[in-house]
């Protein structure tokens, strides 16, 4: 079996599962945010449930419209807060303790390798970066899971993606996953498991793996997954709330397809409007002027991302024609960035630094685009109207490209800043 099949079999109490099997699996963790939790809570109450399956295995994370941007968003979070208090839910993350959910939960050790996780958010697939099976569901399924601690799955077939060779200086997990999505398309892995391996993956940080797993949904994938190796276990030594479980694919595991990518040949890559699959190397873009740059989100708001961007922008100035918005993904990341002087670097360069929030990623707040405006963002989606006006445009890029772009005012690779 593959890693994904082994995790699902174990959680279904079976010796073996194969693609296409319908199973009921026990869950290690269930989560939702301030958009998706309220409908789940409404279904929970409608069913007449009296308790949740485990108050310590559920997380309610207000992050999309927080700090609350209006009365409606405040009411949404109030509903979550009252539900958490009523049912003794341990992991409700109040303002001041909150963060973007898919950065917060691994950081806090609440999700661990080998887990089976669902969340009422499509980017729940992020946790595959630490060797867990994780996927997004609807709010109704989430309500049932809060009650029973179980849900159903159809076991997905697997695609193995082998990244050969070592990445170049400015090549990150974001470039690696954008290249793949550009190669196979937004439905190239529809309801399939993407399993990542190879030298390029071994050389990738945990932050980079989380970035890649985060974006597998942009290729239609059910989940993405990495082996929980020594890097992963070292990451969890001081933070895991439960014992990690390591799964590896068998030598004879069957894959629907194997994709080989030469990591050493990759260039900094950008997804052009209006699809994550519309990718090009920065060197082939031409001169594209931008109005706004956003560094943050559940894709690229971690400390490594901030360090890369700060190193590029240090002792430089944000272009006077650009708004550069920096959003650390959690309070802990914000504090670490402050201790390391990264926040000072951004502010001195002319950037605005925000409290943790999803904010502009989904066109929520903290950086909405007007008609005709162009943004470069380290987020995960660039559909029409994603960050504001339907006639605005979003280009997806790595933190390195985002920082270089903020300086030049045009979509740029870090190499373009040599001598500036």
Domains of the chain, start order: 3-261 (3.30.499.10), 269-413 (3.30.499.10)
Q: What is the pLDDT of residue 126?
A: 98
DSSP code per residue over 47-89? HT--S-S-TTSEEEE--SSTTT-SHHHHHHHHHHHHHHHHTT-
Note whether 105 and 330 are within 8 A (CB): no
Count CB-CB contacts under 10 A for residue 411. 26
Q: Measure Cα distances from 201 to 182, 238, 261, 302, 352 in Å.
A: 18, 23, 11, 18, 33
What residues does 374 pair with on adjacent strands?
393
Among residues 329, 338, 11, 21, the alpha carbon closest in space to that of 155 is found at: 21
Note whether 63 and 52 are within 8 A (CB): no
Per-residue pLDDT tens over the stretch 339-388: 999 999 999 999 999 999 999 999 999 999 999 999 999 999 999 999 99
Among residues 137, 134, 116, 150, the alpha carbon closest in space to that of 32 is found at: 137
Per the prediction, the chain carries an average pLDDT of 96
Q: What is the pLDDT of residue 416?
A: 85
Among residues 129, 284, 107, the alpha carbon closest in space to that of 211 is found at: 129
Q: Mean pLDDT, to the nearest integer, of 313-329? A: 97
Per-residue pLDDT tens over the stretch 222-281: 999 999 999 999 999 999 999 999 999 999 999 999 999 999 999 999 999 999 999 999
| CA–CA gap between residue 179 and residue 186 (Å, rounded) | 12
Does the pLDDT value for residue 419 go beyond 70? no
Beta strands 116-119 and 133-136, pairing class: parallel
- Helices (H), ranges, 340-398: 342-349
Q: What is the pLDDT of residue 417?
A: 84
Among residues 134, 211, 128, 227, the alpha carbon closest in space to that of 167 is found at: 211
Confidence of residue 65 (pLDDT cuts 50, 70, 90): very high
| CA–CA gap between residue 364 and residue 358 (Å, rounded) | 8
| CA–CA gap between residue 235 and residue 362 (Å, rounded) | 29
- Helices (H), ranges, 87-229: 101-107, 139-148, 173-184, 199-202, 206-214
Note whether 366 and 325 are within 8 A (CB): yes
Confidence of residue 415 (pLDDT cuts 50, 70, 90): confident
Does the pLDDT value for residue 309 go beyond 70? yes
Does the pLDDT value for residue 22 go beyond 80? yes
What is the percentage of the chain residues whose pLDDT exceeds 70? 100
Confidence of residue 391 (pLDDT cuts 50, 70, 90): very high
Q: What is the pLDDT of residue 420?
A: 62
Q: Structure tokens of 293?
A: 């740059």
Per-residue pLDDT tens over the stretch 105-145: 999 999 999 999 999 999 999 999 999 999 999 999 999 99
């Amino acid at each position: 079996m593959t890693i994904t099949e082994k995790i699902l079999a174990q959680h279904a109490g079976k010796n073996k599962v194969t693609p296409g099997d319908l199973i009921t699996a026990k869950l290690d963790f269930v989560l939702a945010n301030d958009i998706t939790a309220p409908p789940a809570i409404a279904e929970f109450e409608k069913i007449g449930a009296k308790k949740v399956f485990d108050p310590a295995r559920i997380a309610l994370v207000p992050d999309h419209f927080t700090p609350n941007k209006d009365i409606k968003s405040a009411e949404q979070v109030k509903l979550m807060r009252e539900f958490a208090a009523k049912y003794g839910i341990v992991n409700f993350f109040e303002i001041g303790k909150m963060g973007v959910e898919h950065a917060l939960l691994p950081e806090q050790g609440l999700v661990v390798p080998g887990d089976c996780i669902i969340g009422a958010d499509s980017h729940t697939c992020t946790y595959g970066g630490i060797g867990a099976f994780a996927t997004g569901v609807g709010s109704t399924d989430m309500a049932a899971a809060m009650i029973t601690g179980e849900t159903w799955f159809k076991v997905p077939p697997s695609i193995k993606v082998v990244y050969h060779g070592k990445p170049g200086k400015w090549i990150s997990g974001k470039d690696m996953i954008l290249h793949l999505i550009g190669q196979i398309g937004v439905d190239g892995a529809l309801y399939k498991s993407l399993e990542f391996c190879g030298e390029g993956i071994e050389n990738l940080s945990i932050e980079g793996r989380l970035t890649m797993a985060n974006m597998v949904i942009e290729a239609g994938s059910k989940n993405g997954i990495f082996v929980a190796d020594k890097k992963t276990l070292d990451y969890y030594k001081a933070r895991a709330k439960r014992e990690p479980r390591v799964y590896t694919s068998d030598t004879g595991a069957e894959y629907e397809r194997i994709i080989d990518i030469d990591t050493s040949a990759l260039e900094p890559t950008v997804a052009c409007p209006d699809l994550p699959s519309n990718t090009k190397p920065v060197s082939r873009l031409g001169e594209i002027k931008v109005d706004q740059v956003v560094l943050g989100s559940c894709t690229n708001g971690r400390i490594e991302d901030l360090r890369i961007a700060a190193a590029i922008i240090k002792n430089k100035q944000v272009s006077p024609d650009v708004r550069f918005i920096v959003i650390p993904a959690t309070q802990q990341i914000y504090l670490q960035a402050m201790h390391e002087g990264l926040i000072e670097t951004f502010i001195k360069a002319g950037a605005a630094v925000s409290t943790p929030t999803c904010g502009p990623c989904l066109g929520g707040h903290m950086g909405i685009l007007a008609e005709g405006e162009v943004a470069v963002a380290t987020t995960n989606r660039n559909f029409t109207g994603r960050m504001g006006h339907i006639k605005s445009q979003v280009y997806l890029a790595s933190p390195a490209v985002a920082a270089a772009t903020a300086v030049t005012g045009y979509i740029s690779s870090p190499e373009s800043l040599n001598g500036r």
